[in-house]
Structure 1
Amino acid sequence: MKVSWQLFIGLALFYVLMTVIYWQVGGEPVGIGGMLLAAALAGMVGFYVWFTQRRIGQILPEDNLTALISDGAGELGFYSPHSWWPLPVALSMCALTLSLIIGWWLTVISLGALVISIIGMVTEYEKPIAVSAH
């Protein structure tokens, strides 16, 4: 991960440098804003990867030049095999976007549907706490 965060931080610095050059050449404000946003996004990803690498505190096979492919074997995490929750999230986000054209009344309804579907997607694999009756 050491190479990963260095790559993203370097990319963020490159975008900042290119933004300054573009601004000095007389670039349009939309391009300057877009390049600054790209720098911010690359910086956020670089910071997240750096923070995660510091928290884990171990050398990963990607950082070891003499590592074998089998060194990276093992469980990588939990990935949902199938889930229906992305469909309501996408549909409610689509309705929220269209509500800006159709009317504000639809914004309230679709925002509520979006919040409910995001909560459902995030808590899909949470197990309820069993309350024992005395």
Structure 2
Amino acid sequence: MRVQAFMFYGTALFFLVTDVVYWLWSKDWTGTTALGLAVGLAGLIGFYTHFTIRRLERANNGPLYEDDPEGEISDAAGEVGFFSPHSWWPLYCGLSAAIVTLGIVFGWWLFMFGLAAAFLSTMGLVFEYYRGHFAH
């Protein structure tokens, strides 16, 4: 899966070349800065992906199942993670994020209300399984 990392490295290189050409032709600081941030973002994701895959290969004592040319789909079977089947908290997190965004447009008072709602809904999402009927 190192191909994923090199795709992001290639994207960073493309944005770097585009950034240089854009600066030489336009002399615009705004676009140049945005493209420079895109270079950093693509490079950061490529770096993280590259070294995470390397660490996983070291822990797995060989290539990952995705890289095995003779691998089967069943090699990837197993525990993926825990996903809450009935949680309402993601809905509240999304609604509070919408209130924060509307607060940026319409006024600071709505923004502050949205921040409070976002804080409370995030706390509810994080600590959902630490209290009540579903406590561990």
TM-score by length of 1: 0.76
Aligned residue for 2:103? 99
Amino acid at match of 2:67: D
CA–CA distance in structure 2, aligned partners of residues 118 and 103 of structure 1: 22
SS in 2 for 1:65: coil
**Residues 121-130 or 66-75, more deviating:** 121-130
Task: State the shift of 1:38 in Å.
Answer: 2.3
Provide the aligned length of Structure 1 versus Structure 2: 130
Structure 2 gap ranges (5+): none
CA RMSD of aligned residues (A): 2.6
Q: Which has the higher contact order (CA 8 A, sep 6+)?
A: 1
The structure carrying a bigger helix percent of its residues is: 2
TM-score by length of 2: 0.75
1:67 equivalent among 65, 71, 74? 71
Structure 1 gap ranges (5+): none
Relative to 1, partners in 2 of residues 1:81 and 1:51: Cα closer, same or farther, differing over 3 Å?
farther
Amino acid at match of 1:109: F
Identity in percent: 44
Q: Deviations over 1:68-97 (max 9, x none)?
A: 323222222233334211211111111112
- Where do residues 1-134 of structure 1 align in structure 2 (5 Å cutoff)? 1-26=1-26, 28-56=28-56, 57=58, 58=60, 59-126=63-130
Amino acid at match of 1:68: E
